[in-house]
Amino acid sequence: MSVKFSTKELQRIIAQPGYGIVNGELPDNAPSGRNKFNAVSVVFNGIRFDSKAEMRRYGELRTLELGGQISNLAVHPTLDLYAGVKYKPDFMYTENGQTIVEDVKGGKATQLESFKNKWKQAKEKYPEYRFVIVER
């Protein structure tokens, strides 16, 4: 999905409270380490993201939320699976009445067996949700 905003519309959206821009600057955006896939984790708007790609996707989703195209955006929500196992996707939101569960991945190499197992269990337990992998 791609949404186009004029410069004035985008400035109005990002100026709203809660967007994460303070006095024209992005706060807390200092790299805080790398993981085994060489992704740099960052903190933005008080939220730790595992990669810059995940943080960029948050910005896209937040813009869509402020524009009224999605709602109920949650970052790192917890889904209870079987036998006490928990799965924490990157994002969860509502679009056109449908709950979307989304994970940002850097490609097939970052989709470890543990992720695949939890992903499969989550899809089985929550068939009413739509599960999406965004590859960057």
CATH label of the domain that carries residue 95:
3.40.1350
Instruction: State the Cα–Cα distance between residues 65 and 72, nearest whole angstrom.
Output: 8
- Could you tell me if residue 29 is inside a domain? yes
Tokens of 52: 């810059």
Q: State pLDDT tens for residues 54-105.
A: 989 999 999 999 999 999 999 999 999 988 889 999 999 999 999 999 999 8
Domain extent at residue 129: 7-135
Tell me the pTM: 0.71
Picking from 80, 67, 77, the residue whose alpha carbon sits closest to that of residue 102 is 77
What value does the mean pLDDT of the chain take?
79
What integer pLDDT is reported at residue 105 of this predicted model?
84
- In the three-class reduction of DSSP (H, G, I as helix; E, B as strand; rest coil), residue 117 is classed as helix
Residue with the bigger pLDDT between 27 and 60: it is 60
- Could you tell me if residue 2 is inside a domain? no
pLDDT above 60 for 2 = no
- Could you tell me if residue 1 is inside a domain? no
- Could you tell me if residue 20 is inside a domain? yes
Instruction: State the Cα–Cα distance between residues 16 and 108, nearest whole angstrom.
Output: 36
- Could you tell me if residue 73 is inside a domain? yes
**Tokens 């929550």 map to which residue?**
126
Q: How many domains does the chain have?
A: 1
